[in-house]
Amino acid sequence: MKTKLVLEDGRVFEGFSFAAGGTRFGEVVFNTSMSGYQEILTDPSYCGQIVSMTYPLIGNYGINSQDAESKKIFLEGFIVRESSRRVSNWRSEKALGDYLKENNVLGLEGIDTRALTRHIRLQGAMKAAITTEDLTDQALLKMVKASPGLVGRDLVKEVTCQKPWEWNKTGKYKVVVVDCGVKFNILRELEKRDCRVVVVPAQMPAEKILDLSPEGILFSNGPGDPQAVTYVVANLKKLIGKVPIFGICLGHQMLGLALGGKTYKLKFGHHGANHPVKDLRSGKIYITSQNHGFCVDLDSLNKNDVELTHLNLNDKTPEGLRHERFRLFSVQFHPESSPGPHEAEYLFAEFIDMMKKK
């Protein structure tokens, strides 16, 4: 089916559908990963977004049941230059197009993804629509402008679990993970380090979280604007100083808000598995996996209490913080590395060390 992408500024790209049909709305962003498309598709942080891959051929190693990072696909649409129909991998169970169809996700191929990426870099991430329906560009543009964006929008309530559940039943350290859109590999990394992991809804009050007697609390990644998730920020304020806290991605942003800081929207965000980040404490540079559209304004925090620990070397934005008095730290990138390099996994060991020092 002929398919088109209409951007909020009126730019139109035409291609073909390789998955489900219909019309989808969301903020269009680009991801620079060369592989790991299944992990990207199942990352809840992409809820409300349309993802375009910069690598030209996607789908060549297929899809399998073990690489999913959540229970389903949360993004609104998936754009590639070319979708591979031929699959070559001993672990593959189905093709990318079939997987998208099963999940009713619209896939667009055949457009110039280089031109789209350059346009987003120059103009910024913006609202868009993908459609296979017979709609005029003018009608679609009007619908795009009327659709909700990400600023001020709470998407955590759409991806969080509905009730507490156990990831595993044994472990030396009991860790409560506040599910703002958690990826399964975060839970796997904790389990590998002898943690008993309990996942709770983002709306769970701080008092009930403490009733679970955790030795550490992790606030996970997730979608949308951190300033809109006021209930999580309020809970964080009550938990600071009680137990060790580790924040990842959205969890990092909400921790910054709980410490009295502010956040702002990046022009086109950081999405990919090849972002260089410098650990300012050791001087080492790590290649990291990232997926976020908002950032903590470090200047809005009390510099006497909060230490900048990590810095993005592409645009010099803050990527990590640590409190000098309370047992808490957070990073903007994804140390669980799905997809992406494994270089930042040492941060989970730091979280364990923090729990050891009661």
Please identify every residue annotated as catalytic.
249, 334, 336
How far is residue 96 from each of residues 87, 298, 329, measured CA to CA in Å? Answer: 9, 40, 37
- Residue 79 near residue 111 (C-beta atoms within 8 A): yes
- Nearest C-alpha neighbor of 53 from the set 1, 96, 103, 9: 96
Distance CA 244, CA 260 (A): 18
Q: Show the beta-strand stretches assigned E in the chain.
A: 2-7, 12-17, 23-31, 49-53, 57-58, 77-80, 82-83, 106-109, 126-131, 165-166, 173-179, 195-201, 216-219, 245-248, 262-279, 285-297, 306-312, 318-323, 328-331
Beta bridge partners of 334: 289
- Residue 75 near residue 50 (C-beta atoms within 8 A): yes
- Evaluate the omega torsion of the peptide bond into residue 244 and state whether it is cis, within 30 degrees of 0: no
How far is residue 167 from each of residues 108, 187, 236, 342, measured CA to CA in Å? Answer: 35, 7, 22, 22
